[in-house]
Amino acid sequence: MTQPPNGWGNQPLPPPPENGWQGQQPGQQPPMQSPPSWGPQYQQQFTPPPPPKNNRALKWALGGTALIAVIAITAVVTMSLGSGDKEKGDGSGPTPTAGSGSNSDFASANDTGPVTIITEDPSCAAWIPIQKTLAGRERNGWDKRDPATPASAWSSEQRTQYQEVAEALRAATEQAQPLAKLTKHRVMRELYEQFIAYARSYIEAIPAYIPADDALIRTAGSAGNVVTSICQAISFGSAAARAPLVPAGTAAEAVAPPADPSNPKRIFTEPDPVCPDVQAASDQFLADVADWLKIDPNIPATQWSPEQQALNDAVIPVLRQAADKLDELGRRSDNSTLQDFTALAAQYRRAYAQAIPTYTPADQHLYDASLYPVGVITAACKAAGHT
**Per-residue model confidence as pLDDT tens digits over 5-25:** 322 222 222 333 343 333 333
Q: Is the dihedral of CA 332, 369, 168, 46 positive or negative?
A: positive
DSSP class of residue 48 equals: S
Would residue 373 be called left, alpha or beta, if left means φ above 0 and alpha means ψ between -120 and 50 degrees?
alpha
Residues linked to residue 96 through DSSP beta bridges, in sequence order: 111
Model pTM?
A: 0.78
Encode the chain (387 residues) as per-residue pLDDT tens digits: 333 332 222 222 233 334 333 333 333 333 333 222 222 222 232 222 333 345 554 443 333 333 433 333 333 333 334 444 433 334 455 554 433 434 379 999 888 899 999 999 999 999 988 988 888 898 999 999 999 999 999 999 999 999 999 999 999 999 999 999 999 999 999 999 999 999 999 999 999 999 999 999 999 999 999 999 999 999 999 999 999 999 988 887 788 888 889 999 999 989 999 999 999 999 999 999 999 999 999 999 999 999 999 999 999 999 999 999 999 999 999 999 999 999 999 999 999 999 999 999 999 999 999 999 999 999 999 999 976
Q: How far apart are CA 301 and CA 319, in angstroms?
A: 17
Q: Is the dihedral of CA 382, 384, 386, 387 positive or negative?
A: positive
Q: Where are the alpha helices (DSSP H) in the chain?
A: 55-58, 124-138, 156-182, 186-205, 214-236, 238-242, 275-288, 306-332, 336-355, 364-383
Q: How far apart are CA 345 and CA 116, in angstroms?
A: 10
| Residue closest to 251 by CA, chosen among 50, 115, 378, 130 | 115
Q: Where are the alpha helices (DSSP H) in 20-123?
A: 55-58
DSSP H/E element including 107: none
For the chain, the first-to-last Cα distance in angstroms comes to 43
Q: How far apart are CA 205 and CA 226, in angstroms?
A: 24
Residue 252: CB partners within 8 Å, gap ≥ 6? 112, 114, 115, 336, 339, 340, 343
| Torsion angle (degrees, nearest 10) of CA 107, 111, 117, 119 | -30
What values do phi and psi take at 92, rounded to 5? -95, -15
